[in-house]
Amino acid sequence: MRDAPVPLVKELVLVGGGHTHALVLRRWGMRPVPGARLTLINPGPTAPYTGMLPGHIAGHYAREALEIDLVRLARFAGARLILGSVDAIDPVARLVSVPGRAPLAYDLASVDIGITSDMADLPGFAEHGVAAKPLARFADRWAAFCKGDGPARIAVIGGGVAGVELALACAHRMKGLGRAPEVAVIDRGALLEGAAGRDRLLAAMDRYGIARIESATPVAVTAEAVELDDGRSIASDLTIGAAGAVPHDWLSRCGLEMRDGFMVVDDELRSVSHPEVYGAGDCVHLSHAPRPKAGVYAVRAAPVLAANLRADLTGARRRRFRPQRDFLKLVSMGEKAAVAEKARVAVAGRLLWVWKDRIDQRFMEKFRELPAMPRPRAPIGAAIGVAQELAAPAPCGGCGAKLGAGALSGILGGQPGDDAAVIEVGGARQVISTDHLRGFAEDPMLVARAAAVHAMGDIWAMGARPQSALATVILPRMAARMQGAWLDEVMTAARDIFGAEGVEVVGGHSSMGAELTLGFTVTGLLERDPITLSGAQAGDALILSRGIGTGVVLAGEMQMKASGGEVAATWAQMCTPQGDAAAILARAARAARAMTDVTGFGLAGHLGNICAASGVGAEVTLDAVPLLPGALRLSQAGIRSTLYAQNRIALEGRVEAPETPLARLVFDPQTAGGLLAAVPEAEAAGLVAELRAAGYDAARIGRVTEGPLIRFT
């Protein structure tokens, strides 16, 4: 009897990509719970390891060195990653709210969102200051500040260990850049009050000439100063907020039991009011063992949280979390030296920084070097060839899963067809097209958005305006109570994308299958003569509306070799409609003579279709082709989509292209790719400028020629 896929029956949602959740994801990847879907929600594709933040500010680490790549980690764990910010949890209905999405249902949820050092109540801080937490905005502001010149006037609000550590790091970095640092630390009380290493840290501040502003309360922040309650004005071109642990305010409005804005959890890390919600890290208050906010507790909580989530999903016994009473504190001193403190005893020196660096690097190695997962084995008695197929790379999603041009050539009679069919109804002309995608990610809503954009591409390419859409939804096997929630996510996403383009979703069909597959049949109104593949003329310019590389980036993500930022940029482009770009290119006075959307056959294949239908050739300058972030790097690393080889073989004898990583990208299958248009040469510059003004990475990439050959140079 054949083994059936395990049906999904439970939803586990992790809110926030903090240290605890990152470690839980790692453990889940090595030992998942069959039948449970794991979802991680985080605002960005990476999460910072805060222990290395001062070292980054001081210039000892690149930003990438302290970022946990959540896209890669989610792929390893087989988890759905949602890039968004949670604004509410309903613990009664068991729903998580992310703006722009349908509510996310959960059986179990866990919260690990950390804290912020934002100072929303301080006038002017939002406009002119920057909080040390969360990292992303701070790191961006710091990078921009480091590119300046002249004296570096910096004010740090908050005279605790964290604020002083950041001030030392800022002074060290500015000194290394040859800028005269003018750094001040401001506190309403005494600096480093109660810290065991106070004398050593104050001495380090003196060596860097950092001013101590004590017993003073900031009352306003301007672009050039911090105003104090005693009338003084502290000059500052960069004001950093590091004044203690401030909880995120949305969590306190969720109906969970709170203490001073922090979620109260018990000794099993469960909410004391709603035990289906767990919590860890700086955003929680440990009711059984109150502790100060420190990353060490988040790291130590990870095995317990992972075990208890598993226990609730499988019916096993939960564990208790027993945080240690004290721990070693290592504080960097700007240069590569550190203060170590434990049990009220403090020492300082360069060897302690080496020790701190080793501890930090050891933690980050857990995410840089994820354990290799075994490939699936062929069943006993399998047919010859099954083992070879299983040993090959897993098939790509999106357009990388489509049939190649060679497989379709017999069906199409060897001739390229236009992007959509034109039909006449009552004197009006419409176009109709259908397309579907194999899921390229674990998030149905993300796939639905990209599939909707992708399905409209054929309508736009013919110069028509999309009107209506029918959905085809195939969901993996799951419990009946989950089907409606999944379908709601898909249709909400589809209506958002289609609705923004004036398209009504009029219905559709759904079924269950082996995996997520989504598609749409779209009709459009044709108010002009259709733009076909056959209108290109020698001398026309070739315009591409946006970058290529979705296939190689998605393949790289599957192999955990694409960075989170690269993948996020690709997802964002795939989910961005091109109706305004199509309107620009189809405008009657300067319309494209031929146009297509670049999808499964790649740039070379779809250009080949235009050239074959028009009886022309083309020359394309490779350096002019816009690329998605990471596409060239991944191509240089040998990453290929599974459709790449078929695309290249199908064009043998018709296309000349060098054997280079850049040239290989023109055969890369695209999902929701750009519009490729042949336009009169005199109109090219104006059209590109108009597309760029509309936000597209458009470019003139080449020209149409007399001969049948297509050359990429």
- Residue at 194 is within a domain: yes
Locate tokens 């219905």: which residue? 507
Co-location of 598 and 609 in the same domain: yes
Co-location of 567 and 639 in the same domain: yes
Rounded (10°) CA dihedral 712, 571, 79, 378: -30
Co-location of 454 and 572 in the same domain: yes
Q: Give alpha helix (H) positions in 117-276.
A: 125-128, 135-146, 161-176, 198-208
Co-location of 404 and 542 in the same domain: yes
- How far is the C-alpha of 519 from the C-alpha of 444, rounded, in Å? 12
Instruction: Locate 206 and state its tokens.
Output: 């003196």
Which domain range does residue 548 map to? 399-712
Give the count of domains, the chain.
Answer: 3
Q: How far apart are the first and last CA of the chain?
A: 55
The CATH number assigned to the domain holding 590 equals: 3.90.650.10
Co-location of 513 and 543 in the same domain: yes
The CATH number assigned to the domain holding 256 equals: 3.50.50.60
pLDDT at 416: 59
Q: Please name every residue paired with 47 in a beta bridge, in sequence order, or none if there are none.
A: 68
pLDDT at 5: 76
Which residue type, as a one-letter code, is found at position 206?
Answer: D
Do you find a cis peptide bond into 680, omega within 30 degrees of 0? no
Co-location of 197 and 336 in the same domain: yes
pLDDT at 419: 65
Q: Find, among 236, 309, 232, 249, the residue nearest to 77 by Cα.
A: 309
Among candidate residues 261, 291, 325, the one where a domain is terminated? 325
Co-location of 77 and 201 in the same domain: no
Co-location of 305 and 436 in the same domain: no
pLDDT at 414: 53
Co-location of 510 and 572 in the same domain: yes
Contact present, 254 and 106 (Cβ < 8 Å): no
Cα dist. 466→451, 518, 574, 635, 694 in Å? 14, 18, 18, 35, 20
Cα dist. 559→86, 236, 596 in Å? 28, 46, 30
Low-confidence ranges of the chain (pLDDT < 50): 1-2, 411
Co-location of 241 and 253 in the same domain: no
pLDDT at 1: 39
Co-location of 615 and 509 in the same domain: yes
Strand pairing report for 345-349 and 46-48: unpaired
Run of H or E including 183? strand 181-186
- Residue at 283 is within a domain: yes
Co-location of 294 and 336 in the same domain: no
